Structure 1
C-alpha cells in the first residue's frame, strides 16, 4: 500500500481519537462541575435552613468548617468563607433554577462573582450565557460586569433590520456595544485617530476581547485600490459567525454625516474586491468619541449598506461611590480660586 495513503489514514485516525478524548474530558469535567455545584447548593441550603430553624448565629459556620475539613482532609472548599458563599448561593437560587439557568455549567468561582454582583436574574443569565459561549475566566467575567456589558450590548444605532435578513440582522446587532471601552490604551480623549489605531493593534488581544467573540483581525490601514486610486481602511476584520467582513472606521470627535458616505463606499469596494460568493454582505462600524444620536439615525435612514454607529471611551469612569465623594472640576477650580485670593490678600 502507498506509504502516503497509510500516513494520511493514520493522521485521520489520530485526529479522530484526539477529538474523542478531548470531548470525553470536557464532558467529564462538566459532569464533575455540575456535581460540585449541586453539592455546594445542598450544603448552603442545609446551613441556611438549620440556622433559621435553630436560631443559630454565624459562629456555627466556623465550627462546621473545622469539622468538615477534619472529616474530609483531602477536599478543599470547606473554609468558613466558602461555606458562607454556599449559604448565599442557596439564598440566591432554588435547586430547580440551577439547571434551568445553566448555573451548573460555569465554575464555582464564577458563581460567587455573580451572586455578589447585585445583578438581577435576567442580567446574571446574560453573563452566564456569555461565560459559557466565550470561555471567560473569572477575571474576565468580573471585568465585563464592571464595565456594564449588559447595558452596552446592542445599544448601537444601526440600519441592520432594513439591510440584512432577520436572523443575520439579529446576530449582527448582538455583536455591537455602545460604548466600546478602550481604557486599556492609556490615551486621553484628545488622542488622534492614528494613535488610537496603533494602540488598538498593539493591544490586539484586549481589543478583540472588547469587540467580542468571532472577530478575526485582518489589518490596519488595509489597502484597497479602485480605478487606480489608493484607499486605506482603518481596521478590517472578518467575523466568523456572521461570515462577513467588518469594516471599522475610528473618528476622534463627534459624528458627522459624511462619515456614512465614506463607509458606504468602503463596503461596496470590500464586497466587490474581497467578499467571496459564500460570504454575507460586509458590515460597517463607525466609532466616534461622542454624540451618536438623532443625526446618525437620519443619516442611516436611506443608506443601502448595513452600517452601525457607536461610541468609544478612552478613560474609565469613576465608580459611583467615588463620584459622590470626590470633588468636581468646578469645585476644585472654585477652591483653587479661593486659595489664590487668600494669597493675594496676604
Structure 2
C-alpha cells in the first residue's frame, strides 16, 4: 500500500513562500516608482515640445482638443492624454524649465520623478510663477511621504512663507549646522486651523484641543517630532515643575519644550521657558542628546521686544505666533439645544 503524502508543509517552504510574497511586493513598488518616473519625464518633454513647436498658434484654441484626440487614436490603450492633462504638461515645463534645461541638475530631475503626477498638479496650481516655492513642496513631499490630501493641506496654509520665520537666538546659542536645521524646523505663525475653540477660550482649552488633534499638531510642528507628554512633571530640587508639552526631535536629536500662551508675548515667558530648558538638560538629556530647545507660541508678539528678550538668555529658544480659523461665538455652547430640549421637542 502506497504511503500517503502529508498535507503539512515544511517550515522552510512556508518561510520561502512568505519571502517570495515580500519580494514580489517590493518589485511592484519599484516598478511603480520607475513607471511614475518615466511618466513625469514624458510629461516634461511633452510640455517642452508643445511650448517650443508652437503648434497651438496654428490650431488656435482647439489645439489641445485636437492633440488629445490624435494621441488617443494613435495610442488607444494609453491614459493621461486629456486636454487638461496636456495643458498641465506645459505648465509643468514652464514652472521648472529654468532650473532643469541647460543645467547639470540630475538631482532636481530625480526629485521631480519621485512624486506622482497628481501631486505635481496640486503644486502647479498653487505655485505658478514660483519655481522655488514649487521645489520646496516637492522636497517636503519626498521627505515626509505626504499623501495628496496632506500636501493640499500644507499648500493651503502658506507653509513656504511660514517655515523658518520664527524669532530665535539659534545663531548665537547653537553650533551653525544644528542652528540652521533648528531654525528650518520653526514656523511663524503656526497654523492651528484644525482646532475648534470659542471666542473666549482659555489656555487650557487650546491645549486640550491641540492634544485632541495630536496628529495634526505634530504635522504642523514639522518633521521628526515625537510626543513625550503634556504637563510633563519634573522635580527641580524640592519644587515640581510642569512643562506644557515635551517632545523629542529625531532629526535634531534633542528634546523640545513647547509652551503655548493665549495672550500677547511677555518677556517673563522667556525666563520660565529657559528654566524648563535647563531642567530638561539636567534631568532628561543624555550625553548623546544635543542641547534642548524651547519653542514659545503666543497669540501675538512684538518682534523687536521678542528679539531683545532672547538676547538675555544663553538657551536656544524660538518665539512664534499662532493662528486659528475655527473660533466660535462666546455663547456658542449656550445657544445649542440641550439633549432634554431635543427630547421634549420630539415628544411634542
> What TM-score do you get using the length of structure 2 for normalisation?
0.79
- Structure 1 residue 30: deviation in Å? 3.2
- Structure 1 residue 150: deviation in Å? 1.2
After superposition, the Cα gap between the structure-2 partners of 1:14 and 1:166, relative to the gap in structure 1 and judged at 3 Å, is farther
- Structure 1 residue 168: deviation in Å? 0.6
After superposition, the Cα gap between the structure-2 partners of 1:119 and 1:245, relative to the gap in structure 1 and judged at 3 Å, is farther
> CA deviation digits over 1:22-78, x for unaligned, max 9?
776554433222210111122333334444476111323223323433443432211
Name the structure 1 match of 2:112: 103
1:274 maps onto 2:277 in alignment: no
After superposition, the Cα gap between the structure-2 partners of 1:303 and 1:143, relative to the gap in structure 1 and judged at 3 Å, is same
Name the structure 2 match of 1:177: 187
* Secondary structure of the corresponding residue to residue 196 of structure 1: helix
Q: Distance in 2 between matches of 1:54 and 1:308?
A: 54
8 Å CA contact 2:96, 2:131 repeated in 1:
no
Instruction: Choose from 136, 140, 161 the match for 1:151.
Output: 161
Please give the root-mean-square deviation of Cα atoms over the aligned residues, in Å: 3.0
Moved more, 40-49 or 260-269: 40-49
Instruction: Choose from 282, 304, 307 the match for 1:297.
Output: 307
Name the structure 1 match of 2:324: 314
Unaligned runs of 5+ in 1: 1-12, 318-346
Aligned length: 308
Instruction: Choose from 121, 134, 138 the match for 1:124.
Output: 134
After superposition, the Cα gap between the structure-2 partners of 1:219 and 1:22, relative to the gap in structure 1 and judged at 3 Å, is farther
> CA deviation digits over 1:236-265, x for unaligned, max 9?
100001011110011010111111111111
Unaligned runs of 5+ in 2: 1-15, 102-107, 328-348
8 Å CA contact 1:236, 1:248 repeated in 2:
yes
Name the structure 2 match of 1:78: 81
* Secondary structure of the corresponding residue to residue 322 of structure 2: strand
1:114 maps onto 2:123 in alignment: yes
1:199 maps onto 2:209 in alignment: yes
After superposition, the Cα gap between the structure-2 partners of 1:224 and 1:54, relative to the gap in structure 1 and judged at 3 Å, is closer
8 Å CA contact 2:229, 2:246 repeated in 1:
yes
8 Å CA contact 1:51, 1:57 repeated in 2:
no
